[in-house]
């Protein structure tokens, strides 16, 4: 899994917080083995954990990685 967070999202503290949250969401989702690249948009800096989790799970379901 790769997580890409550009400088447009925020300073290093914000980018690292988003990456930690995404790693935890993926860990809790129990995905099958796959190569995944997550590109983070600047709107993610304003999202809380539950919003990120909802959006990521929906994306995983659309991709067929998570049961829907």
Q: Is 40 helix (H, G, I), strand (E, B) or coil?
A: strand
Confidence at residue 2, expressed as pLDDT on a 0 to 100 scale? 95
Confidence at residue 67, expressed as pLDDT on a 0 to 100 scale? 81
Confidence at residue 47, expressed as pLDDT on a 0 to 100 scale? 95
pLDDT of 51-65, one tens digit each?
999 999 999 999 999
pLDDT of 17-53, one tens digit each?
999 999 999 999 988 999 999 999 999 999 999 999 9
Q: What's the topology of domain 2-63?
A: Ribosomal Protein S5; domain 2 (3.30.230)
10 torsion bin: left (phi>0), alpha (psi -120 to 50), beta (else):
left
Confidence at residue 66, expressed as pLDDT on a 0 to 100 scale? 87
């Amino acid at each position: 899994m790769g997580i890409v967070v550009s400088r447009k999202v925020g300073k290093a503290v914000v980018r690292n917080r988003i990456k930690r949250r995404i790693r935890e969401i993926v860990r809790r989702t129990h995905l099958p083995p796959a190569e995944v690249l997550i590109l983070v948009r600047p709107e993610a800096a304003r999202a809380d954990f539950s919003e990120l989790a909802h959006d990521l799970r929906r994306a995983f379901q659309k991709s067929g990685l998570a049961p829907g």
